[in-house]
Chain A
Amino acid sequence: MQDRIKDIKLRLNKLLFEVKNSEQFGQIRAQFFGKTGEISNLLKALGTVDKDDRAALGAKINELKTDAEQAVDSMEREIAKKELEEKLKKEKIDTTLDKKYEFEGGSIHPIFIELDKVQKILVGLGYRQVDDCEVEYDDLCFTQLNIPKDHPARDMQDTFFLNDELVLRTHTSPSQIKAMRKYGAPLKIFSSGRVFRIDDFDATHAPAFFQIEGLCVDKKLGMADLKKTLLAFLQKLLGEKTRIRFRSSFFPFTEPSVEVDASCNLCDGVGCPSCRGEGWIEMGGAGMVHPNVLKNGGINEKEYSGFAFGFGIDRLAKLAYKVADMRDFYTNDVRFLNQFGGKKI
């Protein structure tokens, strides 16, 4: 009996040493641990052994069984692990290969990326967005903004008319009147969207463009408040080093009115091809709100003053992305659009 135990141990070890793949383990288990397997047979044969030896032998056989099972299990795990590794090695793919899926393209339009940038800055500066319509009453688009009918200042904005009373808004400024009437003073709002002016469609013009304008009404505001806001705004948009300057101008709804230039962020104001050697880039218009406009907005112009500023988003986008031709924004060639794929709003 002792010999048989030894023999089984030896043969099992040999088998486990020689085993090649995990499929062989079924057979090994059947041979040793099955109902008619060698270890089971040993246990059955225990009955024929001397009573005195029986207990010790039984313990030996059980020990053999436990050890054998552990040895088989552990070898099986080892083999299986090796086999899996072999298999995974064979499954290697070329990760440099690209396959085409539908979601690979996709982009937000650059005008809206730029608009979003500007909006985020204004919201950060405490401005509240007001939405507005694109077809506007002549009265709100002009007269209420200090531009009476047939006034020469109307030449500044060549207007599309639907009839005597309705126009396609030439600027986002009607929002100023509406917001002042709705919310009163103090007030900080911005309005953005499409505006329309009769202009040929060429490299630098379009009959429509996107404008964003801000209005702040509060007590004792002066040009310094305007400058501080615009400086903060343009530094955020163009870079911390940006400086700004004002040039005297005319808008019927502000007095004084100024053109706002920012130092070129490529050459830091020295002059380069991007700013046509000027060192400065024209950004937009601004000024202190004309008292007539405050009055038309229902605000006491003696108690409050305000400043307003406006920018053309298309121009900003053209500068920001170095787009040479305004029409590229409206041609919508997907090869052009996909360049903006990484941007979200």
Chain B
Amino acid sequence: MRIPLSWVKDFVNLDKIKFQDLIDALNKIGFVVDEIIDMSKGLQQVFVCQILDIKKHPNADKLDVCQCDIGGLGKKQIVTGAKNIKVGDFVPVALDGASLPCGKIITESQMRGEVSQGMFCGADEIGITEDEFEGADNDGLLILNRINPKAGTKIADTLNRNDIVLDISFLPNRADAACVAGVAREIAAYFGLSFVEPDTKFSTKNIKNPIAVKVEDNINCERYMGAYIESVKNGQSPDWMKRRLVMAGHKPYSILVDITNYVLTEIGQPMHAFDVSKIGGGQLIVRGAKKDEKIITLDNKAQTLEKGMLVIADASKPLAIAGIMGGIDSGTYKDTTSVFLESASFAYANVRKTAKKLGVSTSSSQRFGKTLSTCSAERGLKRALFLIDKLGLGQISSTIVDTNKASLSKRTVVASVANINQRLSLNVSGQQMGKILSSLGFEATIKGDVLSAVVPTWRVDVIVEADLSEEIGRTLGYDNLNENKTSESSSVFQGSYENSQIISNQIKNTLSTMGANEVLSLQFISPDSAVKFGLKTDNCVQILNPLGKEYSLLRPNLLVNILHIISYNLRQKNNNLFLFEVARVFEKTKTKPNESQNLCIVMQTEDFYKVKSILNKVLSVFSVAPVFEASFLPSYLHPGISANVFVDNKRIGHIGQLHPTVAKDFGIDTKCVVAEISLDSLFAFSEKRVVAKQVSKLPRVERDLAFTVDKRMSAVEIINAVKDSGGENIKNICIFDVYEGAQVEEGKKSVAVRFYIEQGGNTLNDKELGSILETIINGCKNRIGAKLR
């Protein structure tokens, strides 16, 4: 929010405060200054001048050569193309060296043979708009005659541009301070200066009270105040008010609207002015909206209301949506002669909900959407009436309407000085605490350790002892907090990791050592990607308010987003990709979605077995024996080159070559083998203890056997046949060669099996070895019909 510093000075004298100290203080106490805007920037070399003489340029039809008086700076010759001037006019002139807000840099120069010692300025060239200065919005130069300026004065002085605007981020619990007076009060408290309360005195005349107010919903409208003003002269606001509003970021409209914005900026209270002639039946009713009730708001939009919303209505129709925006029909215009000025307290939850539903956000709804005190309504109204009275804009002809005076009852927080000191690790006396609180508007009394603080009505955020400690802490500042003044707790704490984290870190280290790059992707996928994966979007977890359609689903697997990453890298001509990710995936249920930690590996290769071997290596962390079975596979895998992975008869994931259609859909033109498993179901296995077995002292015997078997026989079946027939001394059985072709009969394949025979206690002789091999050969023949080659 933009806070003009000159406005702050209305309420606190800052003469003795250094500017940088002021900025540092605001940042420390929680009012972060995002930007410091110098309103006179670019106007240093711009002055008011009076035109003394205008002559046609001898060498240019469209130019004139003017002599002008710049007071103490003497007389200068300026060449101009402007046509809206006459001798005697006052206009801004930028002299040599000026660097204007519009970006132009001015130098003394020759123009078609005539010297021009500067440039006359139009309003836009010096950053002045019609909002700020009436008459700025013309085609030519800015004519200043209206304000009787003095030639030679700086334009920044003449137009009151010597101002600094602070753009401040306010904390959401401090709606009370998000205004000029609020900032002034905080500054005053911090520096121990006195705060000047805004003047709210006004006089009334011819009390009439023509508008009766009835609040039907006391929960959503905690307080409704207002006043009737007649003989209103609505028109342009004075320049000083316009300038303040423009600096604060408001657009001036007419004095009645401008005063509500002025009070909003100054006091923080949103207000609304109704044209009394448009209020039917002399009554304002604050009531719940009826279903499908319609209103055209000030921004000329037709809004259809719902039950639960709050409106200000007359006898027959809604005139305003409470706390959000007025209706176009009951607003104030040029011909308005009498107004009812509303200043109310609406419940933040209701305003927030309504604004959200209607898709409207106004400075009023933003204010009411925060916790604003009911006392703010009174302060705001009285300040507005003061301004109306002072500026002579109309006659205040009513007593102040107030539906809930009782809401002003004050809250007292009772606290312990010792507790506050303990929380802040300080040693501050109760008296000092009381002094700090008083400067912030609290009424504090101390009795021994008991600190009683009557909370100022505007501080709705202060409720408990801890809140008081924050007020004291931030005012004293945390710079002197001594980190060695700690509590003397004897508690002993043992730091530790979750098992799941230890395991996934191990897996990440293993894979990255093997050459894989860990990737990080968002948890969102698009419905498009889901469809490409053969997933129904209805079966995915959907986000109600996604960033966009492409981010609207929570991912049910990691592969989708990794494929996007593969595709990107291939476009970058990065090859031999080997990526993995460990992250959560989401499964839709009737209630809270299931979350599970997955691992996905993608390798740019044709070799299924390479990735399978990597997966086995990863699973070795868990000391489990995975089983691979090619059935019921996801449709995005190659139907012939893929398998489900089982551990303890439980499916934990799958591995396979990416289906060429899916690959193509993702713009991947090489073969990839992918594996995705759920780690959650495996974490429990990692706690299995290793029990070492005695290893034989004798060397083991390596043997190879070649069998002819049925072509469809799987490796697992063959290995199991060898294992089952050979017994437990046969170890490390593997198939090292498979041959199909002319050398074997149709429908068969030749398989070379290698294994080791453990010798146990005694060295085996040739005869014994022969008999073991015989047993295996016969066993395989009986079990799987294998023929020794």
Contacts and interface: CB of A to CB of B under 8 A. Distances in A.
Interface of A: 100-109, 111-112, 116, 119, 122-131, 133-135, 137, 149-153, 155-156, 160-163, 166, 168, 186, 188, 194, 196, 198, 200-201, 206-208, 218-225, 227-228, 231, 245-250, 252, 255-258, 288, 290-291, 305, 329-335, 337-338, 341, 344-345
B325 interface: no
Given A108-B518, A250-B171, A255 B425 contact: no
A345 B508 contact: yes
Contact of A133 (B483, B511, B595): B595
B523 A128 contact: no
B29 interface: yes
Greatest chain B CB density within 10 A among A103, A207, A223 is at A223
Given A103-B515, A186-B489, A331-B568, A288 B523 contact: no
Interface stretch (B221-229, B279-287, B301-309, B573-581): B573-581
Interface in B510-556: 511-524, 541-547, 551, 554
Interface in B128-180: 171-175
Contacts of B505: 116, 345
Given A108-B512, A227-B425, 6 more contacts: A109-B517, A153-B172, A186-B493, A224-B484, A227-B481, A248-B470
B501 A256 contact: no
Given A106-B517, A330-B521, A248 B29 contact: yes
A106 B512 contact: yes
Interface stretch (B262-270, B345-353, B704-712): B345-353
Contact of A225 (B487, B542, B543): B487
Nearest to B489: A218
Contacts of A258: 478
Interface in B479-501: 479, 481-489, 491-498, 500-501
Nearest to B470: A256
A152 B356 CA distance: 13
B509 to A, nearest CB: 5
Interface in B400-426: 422-426
15 contacts: A102-B514, A103-B513, A130-B498, A131-B501, A133-B584, A186-B493, A207-B524, A222-B422, A222-B425, A224-B487, A245-B478, A249-B171, A329-B520, A335-B574, A337-B519
Q: Is the interface of B mostly helix, strand, loop or mixed?
A: loop
Given A156-B172, A223-B425, A256-B469, A109 B519 contact: yes
Contacts of A134: 523, 584, 586, 595
A124 B496 CA distance: 8
Nearest to A150: B349
Interface string B574-596: 10111100011010000011010
Contacts of A152: 172-173, 175, 348, 352, 369-371
Contacts of B27: 247
B517 A218 contact: no
Contacts of B394: none
B: contact size bracket? 35 or more
Contacts of A341: 512
A116 B506 CA distance: 12
Interface string B2-33: 00000000000000000000000001111010
Contact of A332 (B349, B509, B565): B565
Interface string B327-357: 0000000000000000000001100110000
Interface centre among A125, A151, A222 (most CB of B within 10 A): A222
Nearest to A335: B574
A106 B516 contact: yes
B481 A223 contact: yes
Contacts, number: 265
Contacts of B713: none
Contacts of B291: none
Contact of B489 (A107, A122, A168, A221): A221
Contacts of B479: 245-246
Nearest to B471: A256
B517 A227 contact: no
B515 A257 contact: no
B128 to A, nearest CB: 32
A-B interface, 9 closest residue pairs, ranked by CB to CB distance from nearest: A224-B425, A126-B493, A222-B425, A248-B474, A123-B495, A256-B470, A246-B478, A150-B349, A248-B30
Contacts of B583: 194
Contact of B522 (A109, A130, A131, A330): A330
B36 interface: no
A178 to B, nearest CB: 13
B353 to A, nearest CB: 6
A111 B488 CA distance: 36
Contacts of B494: 126, 128
Most B CB within 10 A of own CB, among A126, A135, A188: A135
A317 to B, nearest CB: 10
Given A107-B517, A224-B485, A248-B30, A135 B496 contact: no
B466 interface: yes
Nearest to B30: A248
B135 to A, nearest CB: 41
B473 A256 contact: yes
B464 interface: yes
Contacts of A104: 515
Contacts of B554: 135, 168
Contact of A194 (B500, B512, B523): B523
Which of A161, A290, A331 has the most chain B CB atoms closer than 10 A to its own CB? A331
B501 A126 contact: no
Contact of B486 (A155, A225, A252, A305): A225
B578 A102 contact: yes
B631 interface: no
Nearest to B575: A334
B572 interface: yes
B466 A247 contact: no
A219 B787 CA distance: 78
A220 B487 contact: yes
